[in-house]
Structure 1
Amino acid sequence: MTLTRRQVLKYGTFATAGATLFGGHSLFSPRAMAANTLVGVTYLPPSYKALTYGSQGFVDFLAENGGDTLAVDFHDSGQLLKADEQLPALRAGNIDFMFHTSSYITRSLPILGITGLPGVVGELYRHPERLAMGSPLLELINEQLAEDNLYMPTAGGGILEPEYIWSTEGSLIRSLADLQGKKVRVVSYEATLALEKYGIGATRIPSSETYMALQRGTVDAGVFNISTVIGRSLHEQLDTCYKLPTTAFTVAPFMLRDRWDRLDDDTRGILERAAQWYDENFISHCNDDIYPNEYWPQVEAEGVEVIEPSDEDIATFNEGADAIWTAWKEDVGEEVGERAIALALGEA
């Protein structure tokens, strides 16, 4: 029987199947001249122009600077692993690094919830330096990730513009009161908790299926970052954007902590420089260039109405975030949670 790369990853243990069937790393490593060949993945397709700018730039940096030290075998668009398969594959050692959306994995890695915590994301968005490489907040995140043998060398230099509430013509949402009874596509656990109190029916749907879900009325609305709206052409099905900063996320590279620690100095140095490039360029490129100059004009050209939330709605939503903070701190530990929130808000 001939096994594909995807079948080996999904159904077998790579270390055993790879060595037995293909000889060491050869399944993934046609470029055997380099001392290290790292296998990396992202489920995001190139249609997510903003979000894949960083991961492709990171991989290109490694390719251009790896020389005889480092080669990369990188797979985008979920060609090797789907979104929900990436973290298990990394933990099993089947891949060497992954780029993942933080909001997808906060239940597995609760400390990443700080990147999407309601009432906090606005401050983190306005102050990206609080999540930069070398910042106390990123160091705290990695202290917690290390307990799961994971390492995030960079968060990308901050978080992306917050996710807002987008709705269809037949189910317009212009205020918090309009959420009552609406079927809303939500991904992050934190946003789900924040909005359920307003009477929504929360539904988790993969971004690839969201266009049809909106078109068929399976959902009335969704909590989206503008990258998802443009990357999946959702603006063709949407009528309003209620610009309430609901939650947020970043897309970051992850490795196993012990794998990182075992790297030789030259390989680790190249990765650190790639991470520095990513930190300095990814978030700023999205938030300061592509979003305002390309994506939001596309939304406006489609005729989507952008509605600014009232001061009353902002205050009400942020007051309700206290319960979400409490639940999150129970997951990460009171002391860690308090410290992370203080660092994110610039209070420590």
Structure 2
Amino acid sequence: MGLKRYAAALAAGIAALGAGAAWAQDYTFKLHHFLSAKAPSHTEMLVPWARAVEENSGGKVKIEIFPAMTLGGRPPELINQVRDGVVDIIWTVNGYTPGLFPRTEVVELPFVYLNDPAATNLALYEMFESDLKEDYQGVEVMFLHVHSGQAIQMRETEVRSPADLEGKKIRIPTRTGAWVLEALGATPVAMPVPDLPQALQKGVVDGALIPFEIIPPLKIQEQTDVQIELADKTRLGTTTFQVSMNKAKWDSLPADVQQAFRDASGPDWLREVGEVWRGTEEFGINMAVASGNTHVTLTEEETEAFRQALEPVVERWIEEVTAKGIDGAALVQKARDLIATHGSM
């Protein structure tokens, strides 16, 4: 190699090393989830959270969000996609992989969760390190949250008592929700939420346990006539979600970048997430009513009938997880106490 060519090659090599060093200051992450880019969970939760992380990092972090499973696969595959490193971060429903997160199911139980997503988010935050972390092998949890709870949305039937659900086919995304339906004499039908509109339209299901916030993005008001909730906006349990990063990816990050994620995911944010979901809930039910649907709120007496019918669901969960070496009774009491404490703040 001639001297000039050697010098040129050396200069190119040094330039490449310099570019590599500059690139190493930037961290790009792919966040994959199952709802559309128009869903409130995308526009009002995931996008603001990603932007907050980027800002906290001083420009070192970029989070690219891929909604509606645009990177491939189906919603139940998200947890394995992030564990296997196919994507960096996911937002998913814990219940899409039944039994994988048994401890965290405690807040999903009927009348453990009542009607306050912010209080429940904060309870999850407090319980994570001491009680829940073992559920999350292979991932680093950014934050856990719940939605506003399982309202009853029906194609035709006005539900005012457990008997009104007997024999009905009802969609639910979680096994705890399936137990609720079994206790009420209904038939649970598991499916990811994007499949619900077609299932309602074709009569595959008679209704769904799902919050009102999903009405606008999936146009549920067009496939249902009746939306039902219990007294004081009480719901038949809730669903837990996680935003989690691949564990190896997390461990490779410098402390300041990790802190950028942590600072965006603390108690203030979890309280805000609860308020976001509650706000979108009001928007959803108002849209259904404006479309001519009937909004039913049960009386205290009618609600008590559901409470009595569903107490065995809590006992069933305690018995099952206790057999796995988990103190289910203690988790139920702790969750109830923390939700009550944060709900009174």
Q: TM-score range by the shorter chain?
A: 0.7 to 0.9
TM superposition outliers: structure 1 runs of 4+ over 6 Å? none
What is the DSSP-based 3-state SS (H/G/I as helix, E as strand, rest coil) of the residue aligned with 1:252? strand
* TM-score of the two chains, using structure 2 as the length reference: 0.79
2:191 to 205, 214, 224: 205
Greater gyration radius: 2
The letter of the residue matching 1:290 is: T
Instruction: Within 5 Å, give how 1:270-281 maps onto structure 2.
Output: 270-276=260-266, 278-281=269-272
Q: Distance in 2 between matches of 1:342 and 1:51?
A: 33
What is the DSSP-based 3-state SS (H/G/I as helix, E as strand, rest coil) of the residue aligned with 1:155? strand
Q: Distance in 2 between matches of 1:184 and 1:76?
A: 26
Instruction: Within 5 Å, give how 1:149-228 maps onto structure 2.
Output: 149-156=138-145, 159-169=146-156, 171-228=157-214
**Unpaired segments of 5 or more residues in structure 2?**
1-21
Does structure 1 conserve the Cα–Cα contact (< 8 Å) formed by 2:103 and 2:135?
yes
The letter of the residue matching 2:191 is: I
Task: Write out per-residue CA displacement over residues 232-274 of structure 1, whole angstroms, 9 at most, x where no aligned residue.
Answer: 0011121112213112124331124454344311111111122
The letter of the residue matching 1:337 is: G
1:297 to 279, 286, 290: 286
Distance 1:55 1:68, change over 3 A: closer
In the TM superposition, residue 229 of structure 1 has moved relative to its aligned partner by: 2.2
In the TM superposition, residue 103 of structure 1 has moved relative to its aligned partner by: 3.5
The letter of the residue matching 1:211 is: P
In the TM superposition, residue 45 of structure 1 has moved relative to its aligned partner by: 0.9
What is the DSSP-based 3-state SS (H/G/I as helix, E as strand, rest coil) of the residue aligned with 1:269? helix
In the TM superposition, residue 141 of structure 1 has moved relative to its aligned partner by: 4.6
Distance 1:290 1:207, change over 3 A: closer
What residue number does 1:309 align with?
A: 298
Does structure 1 conserve the Cα–Cα contact (< 8 Å) formed by 2:152 and 2:228?
yes
Does structure 2 conserve the Cα–Cα contact (< 8 Å) formed by 1:161 and 1:225?
yes
User: In angstroms, what is the RMSD of aligned CA positions?
Assistant: 2.7
What is the DSSP-based 3-state SS (H/G/I as helix, E as strand, rest coil) of the residue aligned with 1:110? coil
Q: Distance in 2 between matches of 1:141 and 1:160?
A: 21
In the TM superposition, residue 129 of structure 1 has moved relative to its aligned partner by: 6.5
| Identity over aligned pairs, percent | 18
**Unpaired segments of 5 or more residues in structure 1?**
1-30
* TM-score of the two chains, using structure 1 as the length reference: 0.79
1:87 matched to 2:74: no
Aligned pair count reads 310
Q: Distance in 2 between matches of 1:327 and 1:258?
A: 36
What residue number does 2:129 align with?
A: 139
Does structure 1 conserve the Cα–Cα contact (< 8 Å) formed by 2:118 and 2:270?
no
What is the DSSP-based 3-state SS (H/G/I as helix, E as strand, rest coil) of the residue aligned with 2:143? coil
Q: Distance in 2 between matches of 1:88 and 1:225?
A: 26
1:39 matched to 2:25: no
Larger displacement relative to structure 2 (60-69 or 267-276): 60-69
In the TM superposition, residue 222 of structure 1 has moved relative to its aligned partner by: 1.1
Q: Distance in 1 between matches of 2:183 and 2:269?
A: 37
In the TM superposition, residue 213 of structure 1 has moved relative to its aligned partner by: 1.9
